Amino acid sequence: MKLLENISLKDHTTIGTGGSARFFLRCVSDDEIKQALTFAKTRNLDVFTLGGGSNLLIADDGFSGLVLQVATESVSIKVDGTVVASAGVNWDSLVTECCRRGLSGIEALAGIPGSVGATPIQNVGAYGQEVASVITEVHAIEKSTLRSMIFTSEECRFGYRQSRFKAEDSGKFIITSVGFKLSSTDIPTPRYEELRVSLLSDPKWQSGSREEKIILVRDHVLKIRKSKGMVLDPKDPDTRSVGSFFVNPVVSTALKDNISSIAAREGSLKPFIAHPAGDGQWKISAAWLIENSGIKKGQSLGGARVSNKHVLALTNPGTATTRDILELAKLITSTVEQKYGIRLEREPILLG
């Protein structure tokens, strides 16, 4: 391992902001991860685990501890749909390869930047799918003891954009690999309305084979994501973001009805829609709340800007600082809360 010092972290994130890491280590095996943790323990350093940097904001002052980049890249894909991938594997590359092999279950998660190891942490989901439905086990190393552990899907305690690794055990483990069980027989059935409409407009959708439909779902998801600036493109400043900055809120029936009343009284840019989330709760669109509170696409504050394509993405067109991004997020949060009584929850991790 090569220990680096005072390394700028901007280029290790998709948004391109933030300061430097006091120490930086790139680990290509579980043994190297344990060696790095031992080094940090002897120096009494905090450790942050870096994957693809796609859901991460780094403070402008940087991080005074050790940034450990997991760069393991082993993949095993079997014909029965059993998949085991190391934490450092590029997520979209894994999705693409599984689709190519006719395995379904993650095709609607195409185009999401980042690494495999990050997917269980926030239970990555999009367009009607989430990884919780296909993850069988998560392998991890406990930071404090260097003990290797295996968590079943149930033990991960998955929720909407949530898991034990993001909640009560945040920062306690380093995920080293993830096991999935995909299907070699299921026919893709799009559950997300925007994706369903897009597929029905494609003549190939009705006549295509099961394997062709898996590829079609992936292709149409990528098309939709690109239209929203949610697929990384060095030539498009709208993609210099952390993806969706806010989580879709889950609210009570009373709060849902109140928002519906406001929308009926004042009108809205798009119809207000709420989806049942169980136990009398409702999931509503953070993007709808933001747009109808008065925030505009392309609106800027300091060096930060709301994407020209999607209000859920806060972007760095070139000169933004992390402070700029957070100030813009604060403006959006307070604007939505003042109008609708909902305080939006930030999705990306803040380091430093």
User: Do residue 222 and residue 88 come from a single domain?
Assistant: yes
* Domain termination site, one of 35, 70, 105: 70
What angle is formed at CA 340 by the lines to CA 338 and CA 344, rounded to 5 degrees? 80
Residue 29 has pLDDT above 80, yes or no: yes
Tell me the C-alpha distance between 265 and 259, whole Å.
10
Residues 108-126: tens digit of each pLDDT: 999 999 999 999 999 999 9
Rounded average pLDDT over 123-137? 96
**Is 232 domain-assigned?**
no
Q: Range of 100's domain?
A: 75-227
Residues 40-95: tens digit of each pLDDT: 999 999 999 998 899 999 999 999 999 999 999 999 999 999 999 999 999 999 99
User: Do residue 44 and residue 92 come from a single domain?
Assistant: no
Q: Please check whether residue 244 is in contact with residue 313, taking contact to mean a CB–CB distance below 8 angstroms.
A: yes
What angle is formed at CA 347 by the lines to CA 156 and CA 6, rounded to 5 degrees? 95
Where does residue 299 rank: exposed (0-12), middle (13-18), buried (19+ CB within 10 A)?
Answer: middle
Q: Please check whether residue 142 is in contact with residue 78, taking contact to mean a CB–CB distance below 8 angstroms.
A: no
Tell me the C-alpha distance between 261 and 273, whole Å.
12
Residue 208 has pLDDT above 90, yes or no: yes
User: Do residue 154 and residue 293 come from a single domain?
Assistant: no
**Is 43 domain-assigned?**
yes
User: Do residue 79 and residue 220 come from a single domain?
Assistant: yes
Residues 308-338: tens digit of each pLDDT: 999 999 999 999 999 999 999 999 999 999 9
pLDDT at 42: 96
**Is 188 domain-assigned?**
yes
Average pLDDT, the chain: 96
| The one catalytic residue among 177, 198, 244, 293 | 244
Give catalytic status of residue 157 as yes or no: no
We report the CATH number of the domain holding residue 174 as 3.30.465.10
| The one catalytic residue among 104, 161, 218, 240 | 161
**Is 276 domain-assigned?**
yes
Give catalytic status of residue 347 as yes or no: yes
Q: What percent of the chain has pLDDT over 70?
A: 100
Q: What percent of the chain has pLDDT over 90?
A: 96
**Cβ neighbours of 282 (radius 10 Å):** 20
Confidence of residue 181 (pLDDT cuts 50, 70, 90): very high
pLDDT at 67: 97
User: Do residue 222 and residue 282 come from a single domain?
Assistant: no
User: Do residue 248 and residue 335 come from a single domain?
Assistant: yes
**Is 241 domain-assigned?**
yes
User: Do residue 114 and residue 244 come from a single domain?
Assistant: no
**What is the pTM (predicted TM-score) of this model?**
0.89
Six-digit token pair at 10?
């901007």
We report the CATH number of the domain holding residue 248 as 3.90.78.10
**Is 17 domain-assigned?**
yes
**Is 206 domain-assigned?**
yes
CA neighbours within 13 Å on the CB side: how many for 110?
23
User: Do residue 261 and residue 347 come from a single domain?
Assistant: yes
Give catalytic status of residue 260 as yes or no: no
pLDDT at 341: 95
User: Do residue 41 and residue 166 come from a single domain?
Assistant: no
Residue 214 has pLDDT above 80, yes or no: yes
Confidence of residue 285 (pLDDT cuts 50, 70, 90): very high
| The one catalytic residue among 32, 142, 327, 347 | 347
User: Do residue 114 and residue 197 come from a single domain?
Assistant: yes
User: Do residue 60 and residue 170 come from a single domain?
Assistant: no
**Is 23 domain-assigned?**
yes
pLDDT at 1: 77
User: Do residue 242 and residue 300 come from a single domain?
Assistant: yes
Domain count, the chain: 3
pLDDT at 146: 97
